[in-house]
Chains A and B, each alone.
Chain A
Amino acid sequence: MTSDAPPPPIAKPTQPPTTGIPITAASFTLRRRPTSEKLLDLGFHQLTLLLASFVAILLLLIVITVFHGAREAMASFGLRFLTTSAWDPVNEQYGAFIAIYGTLVTSLLSLLIAIPLGVGTAIFITEDLIPTAMRNVIGVMVELLAAIPSVVLGLWAIFVMEPAIRPALDLLHHWLGWSPLFATVPQGPGMAPAILILVVMILPIITAISRDALNQVPIELRQGAYGVGTTRWGALFNIILPAAVSAITGGVMLALGRAMGETMAVTMIIGNALNFDVSLLAPGNTIASMLANQFGEADGIQVSALMYAALILMLLTFVVNVMAQWVVRRLSLKY
């Protein structure tokens, strides 16, 4: 009877037989709970405990599997793996530098573009600038954008976006060709279109989280700002955005994690280069797209090298995601 007693803040029992305190139960109850019911209760508790533990076990299994698979490559390449760019199945020499560089560059640059777009959109649909109905429509559309599968965006990027932006990339090369970042002639797939498609993919996350953050800023704070005579954007820049900045930062970090791990659309448009080129207009590679391209056909130490790369990707996203949670919790709004 006590083992499954409900948590302490239980309401005053109205019927004596259900009292949680067992004062010689027989003294005022004639009907005991059947054993089967108790067993069911206990069994259900244990079952849900088992299912919940499953998440932790699964996470552990993933880490172990990837780590185990990567051991051979770690032993033969060590930390050199991070800084060399050879990817040579014939001589069994592997280095992930191209992919690591591509992962970091594409995700960070896409973030740089997506932050103003996402936060700007969030402001546009939380402030009273346009009618509520229109604000909701824009909000729903951005959410639907998040629902479009990555592979469909990749298809669109190959056949529609990349040809459409090629002239702009050509211009970029024309003007800024002196800089190593734009030194190559754009020829179809490359880092630049990959960055743009990543912007499309992480924009909804940043917008949604910024929108929630702005909505959570208390109305009193807004009134206070207007009360001393600020303009709308004065209030936004000085009071409202600073109050929401930690939640927005958390969202941006989540988006970064997502961008680093994003696979399909990037794989389809980045060109999967095997040679290093610092230029953004040249084909590149990311860890995720390298995995998507090669895992199916790899064997021997190449599988291990890919596992090693997967481990690095996991570490990167893990650090970013944990930092995102930390930012949200530690710098949580003080008002």
Chain B
Amino acid sequence: MTSTLINSSTALGTETCLSLQNVTISYGKFEAVRNVFMDIPRGKVTAFIGPSGCGKSTVLRALNRMNDLVPGCTLKGRVLFDQHDLYDPRVDPVEVRRRIGMVFQKPNPFPKTIYENIAFGARINGFKGDMDELVERSLRKAAVWDECKDKLKESGLALSGGQQQRLCIARAIATEPEVILMDEPCSALDPISTLKIEETMHDLKRSYTIVIVTHNMQQAVRVADMTAFFNAEAVEGGTGKVGYLVEFNDTERIFNAPGQQATQDYVSGRFG
């Protein structure tokens, strides 16, 4: 399986979905992560791993311009999505986020009904079809339909944490984005909910490009085709740490035959 994956990724090497070219992201004067080069392939699951504070979430949020909401956050370099620079001044971040959806660390359903949680995003994206069908399809894809088909008119907040997170996944896929970003989607969940969400991801990667930040290395092994390892180092003369990309390769390689000593140390649990 892995060999075919490597083969297919080399064969379809042009099929890069998101390309980061010398990306440096700063909060005010402090660099959070510097000089990231990375080509995220289409139709695969890519995981970002690394110790806390290495900037992996920051990089993820740069991919759909979520960092615009953080005052003082600036980005240097280029982020290409289908050969379009997302940080071109002519680009509308709203349009970007409609194409690149996101699931957050903490489940954050809107304080509306379950039905409305799904329908809201679709409606503002100019959905023209049968809304009931879309809601059902999205909830089915996120594997939460059975649990909430009888309470579509109840508040999304009435669900359990794991169900809420799958509702948020359903909400993200309802708008049919091309990419789904997941920022530690399971960190607030119990093991059983985590497992269900990982199963959901396996189903989803057939139709979407997924980028996931995770603290959990087993999770990266279980769900990801590609893995990027980020690390942080102290800056000379500075007080904080700055993150950088150490290594980006097939998950198999990262965990079994990493090219860097730091990666080896991290995946074998020697630090972080």
Interface locus among B76-84, B93-101, B196-204: B93-101
- Contact of A223 with B by CB under 8 A: yes
Specify the chain A residue showing the minimal Cβ separation from B102.
A227
Contact A128 B98 (CB under 8 A): no
Give the nearest-CB partner of B177 in chain A. A229
Complex CA distance for A222 and B110, rounded to whole angstroms? 9
B-chain residues with CB within 8 Å of residue A223 when the two chains form the complex: 66, 69, 102, 104, 108
Looking at the complex, which one of A128, A218, A220, A238 makes contact with B71 (CB distance below 8 Å)? A128
Stretch at the interface among B11-19, B33-41, B168-176, B258-266: B168-176
Contact of A242 (CB < 8 Å), options: B66, B102, B111: B111
Most-contacted residue by chain B among A225, A229, A234, A333 (CB, 10 A):
A229
CB nearest to A242 among chain B residues: B111
Query: A210-238 CB contact bits vs B (8 Å, 1 = yes)?
Result: 00000000101111111111110010001
Cα distance A218–B155 when bound, in Å?
17
Interface 9-residue window, one of B46-54, B117-125, B209-217, B227-235: B117-125
- Whether B111 pairs with A227 at a CB distance below 8 angstroms is no
Asked if B106 is at the interface (CB within 8 A of a chain A CB), the reply is yes
Closest to A217 in B: B111
Residues of B within 8 A of A224 (CB): 104, 108-110, 168, 171
Q: Please tell me if the beta carbons of A227 and B71 are within 8 angstroms of each other in the complex.
A: no
Residues of B contacting A220 in the complex (Cβ-Cβ under 8 angstroms): 104, 106, 108
B104 and A228 form a contact (CB under 8 A) = no
Task: Tell me if A228 and B108 are in contact (CB < 8 A).
Answer: no
Indicate whether A221 sits within 8 Å of B110 (C-beta atoms), given known contacts A128-B69, A228-B172: yes
Compute how far the CA of A226 lies from the CA of B71 in the bound complex, rounded to whole angstroms: 15
Q: Which residues of B contact A231 (CB under 8 A)?
A: 94
Bound Cα distance from A218 to B105, whole angstroms: 13
B157 lies within 8 A of chain A by Cβ:
yes
- Name B171's closest neighbour in chain A (CB-CB): A228
Report, as a range, how many residues of chain B touch the other chain: 20 to 34
Question: A33 within 8 Å of B by Cβ?
Answer: no
Residues in chain B near residue A227, CB distance under 8 A: 64, 66, 97, 101-104, 172
What residue in chain B is nearest A221 (Cβ atoms)?
Answer: B108
Which chain B positions have C-beta within 8 A of A239? Answer: 110-111
Cβ of A229 and Cβ of B98 under 8 Å apart? yes
**A232 nearest CB neighbor, chain B only:** B94
Q: How far is the CB of B167 from chain A (nearest CB, A)?
A: 11
Decide: B111 and A228 in contact? CB cutoff 8 A.
Answer: no
CA gap between A224 and B111 in the complex, in Å: 11
Residues of A within 8 A of B125 (CB): 228-229
Cβ–Cβ < 8 Å partners of B104 in chain A: 220, 223-224, 227
Min CB distance A131 to B, Å, is 9
Residue A178 CB within 8 A of the other chain: no
The answer to whether B111 touches A243, judged by C-beta atoms less than 8 angstroms apart, is yes
Q: How far is the CA of A252 from the CA of B268 in the complex (A)?
A: 59
B86 to chain A, nearest CB (A): 14
Distance, CA A221 to CA B120, complexed state (A): 13
Give the residue name and chain of the A residue nearest to B125 (CB).
A229
CA distance A96 to B95 in the complex (A): 60
**In the bound complex, CA of A226 to CA of B61 (Å):** 12
Q: Does A335 contact B (CB under 8 A)?
A: yes
Interface residue A330 (Cβ < 8 Å from any Cβ of B): no
> A197 to nearest B CB, angstroms?
37
Q: Which residue of B lies closest to A132 (CB)?
A: B71
Q: Decide if A31 is an interface residue (CB 8 Å cutoff).
A: no
Known contacts being A228-B97, A228-B120, is A334 close to B110, with CB within 8 Å? no
CB pair B110 A226 closer than 8 Å = no
Q: Which of A132, A226, A229, A333 contacts B175 (CB 8 A)?
A: A229
Q: How many angstroms from the CA of A335 to the CA of B125 in the assembled complex?
A: 24
Chain A residues with CB under 8 A of B168: 224
* Nearest-neighbor residue (CB-CB) of A218 within chain B: B108
Write out, one digit per residue, whether chain A residues 109-136 have a CB within 8 A of any chain B CB (1) or not (0): 0000000000000000000100010000
- Given the complex, which residues of B lie within 8 Å of A228, measured CB to CB? 97-98, 101, 120-121, 124-125, 171-172, 175
Question: What's the Cα separation between A226 and B142 when bound, in Å?
Answer: 20
Q: Which residues of the partner chain B approach A234 to less than 8 Å between Cβ atoms?
A: 124
Partner of A229, one of B103, B109, B121: B121
Residues of A contacting B69 with CB < 8 Å? 128, 222-223, 226
State in angstroms the CA–CA spacing of A333 and B157 once bound together.
Answer: 12
| Distance from B149 Cβ to chain A, minimum over Cβ atoms (Å) | 22
Name, among A218, A333, A335, the residue most crowded by chain B CB atoms within 10 Å (CB to CB).
A335
Task: Give the nearest-CB partner of A224 in chain B.
Answer: B108
B-chain residues with CB within 8 Å of residue A238 when the two chains form the complex: 110, 120, 124
Tell me, rounded to whole Å, the shortest Cβ–Cβ distance linking A233 to chain B. Answer: 11
Q: Give the docked Cα–Cα distance between A238 and B120 (Å).
A: 9
A243 nearest CB neighbor, chain B only = B111
Which of B102, B103, B155, B171 has the most chain A CB within a 10 Å cutoff? B102
CA–CA, A231 and B109, complex, Å: 18
Inter-chain CA distance A287–B111, complex, in Å, is: 42
A-B contact pairs, 12 of them (CB 8 A): A128-B69, A128-B71, A224-B171, A227-B64, A227-B66, A227-B101, A229-B94, A230-B94, A230-B124, A238-B110, A243-B111, A334-B155
The 10 closest A-B pairs by CB, nearest first: A228-B121, A229-B98, A220-B108, A227-B102, A224-B108, A229-B97, A335-B111, A231-B94, A220-B106, A334-B111
Known: A227-B97, A229-B94, A229-B98; 4 extra A-B contacts, CB below 8 A, are A220-B106, A229-B97, A238-B124, A333-B111
